[in-house]
Amino acid sequence: MFVYMYEAMPMPTNLTPIYMIGAGGIVRDAHLPAYKLAGFQVLGIYDVDVSKAKMLADIFDIPKVFEHLADMLQEVPKKVVFDLAVPGSAIAAVLEKLPIGAAVLMQKPMGNNLKEATRILEITKERQLLAGVNFQLRYAPFINAAREMIDRRQLGILCGIDIHVDVFTPWQLWKFLYGLPRVEILYHSIHYIDLIRSFLGNPVSVFSKTVKHPAMMELASVKSNIIMDYGDAISANIITDHTHIYGPDKEEATITFKGTIGAIKIKLGLLMNYPQGVADKFEYIILQDGEERKWKSVNIEGGWFPHAFIGSMAQMMLAIETGHQPDNSVVDALDTMACVEAAYMADSQGGVKL
């Protein structure tokens, strides 16, 4: 009989202080709540909008608000992690100002395209930065649980990952996305591309189509179909549609891992009825000869927001502690950005004409 034995994510022995650069919605809703849960110390915060930084400092008991980035960089102790939560287009400029040898965790995406991502990697090398990118879905508690089962071969051989998102996303919450040339894949499906890579490595190639919606023409794209090619025996499919205007009852958001003797299906409650969300769900089935094929549920504590953000920051602290590169290093993240670039290239090239 199968017994589920979930092991928590690796955590550092020594907690490195954090200095926050950026005070937007993702910092308020995910970064800072995660760090509070984990007991991580955030000692300072800066944002171009000082009022936002002061508001979050009050809510999360951050002792120091900096009105200028230069002030933070002048006062900050030597051994800290800079948590960089700024738009992708601003990352390179901030990295060039950080102290030589600093540790920094960047919010995704790693620039707006592969060219910018490559430049960001070059800057981290030039300035000898210990750098990671906050592709945090790979550290969500339900993903940790799935990874443990898969690593133990309890599903047999992993032969498929399917991600299906059919929800209504209130894009107006992120005004900066309007008018950008890339939206859905770069700012949403990028999570799933990175997740699949974390299990299967880099694909041979990428097929993709990303499109608009008649009621949302001011956005570059709100729906995507992506196939990551891993050869003839493994499938990896991402289908997203953020235009489900038909009520929350029929919304769907799932990740399914398929193996030769079992499967896992995870409901991403965060994305449904957004921003209120619904409960996540973790189900699995393991085939046994002569037994009824019945799915079972497991209660997994914690979710994507904010708990997955603990894992991203923990990787940086572990890297400082051990001297090894973090799992979410900029080198690894560049491959995710390369897959994103390949998806946009495939979309622009189009399919085989009849």
Domain definitions of the chain by residue range: 18-134+308-329, 141-298
Residue 2, pLDDT > 50, answer: no
Residue 159, pLDDT > 50, answer: yes
- The reported pLDDT for the residue numbered 1 is 36
Compute φ and ψ for 72, nearest 5 degrees: -60, -45
- The reported pLDDT for the residue numbered 6 is 54
Interval 58-98: pLDDT, tens: 999 999 999 999 999 999 999 999 999 998 889 999 999 99
Fold of 18-134+308-329: Rossmann fold (3.40.50)
- pLDDT band at residue 152 using 50, 70 and 90 as cut-offs: very high
Mean pLDDT score of the chain:
95
* Predicted model pTM: 0.95
Interval 165-208: pLDDT, tens: 999 999 999 988 998 999 999 999 999 999 999 999 999 999 99
The architecture of the domain spanning 141-298 is 2-Layer Sandwich (3.30)
Interval 276-299: pLDDT, tens: 999 999 999 999 888 889 999 999
Residue 143, pLDDT > 90, answer: yes
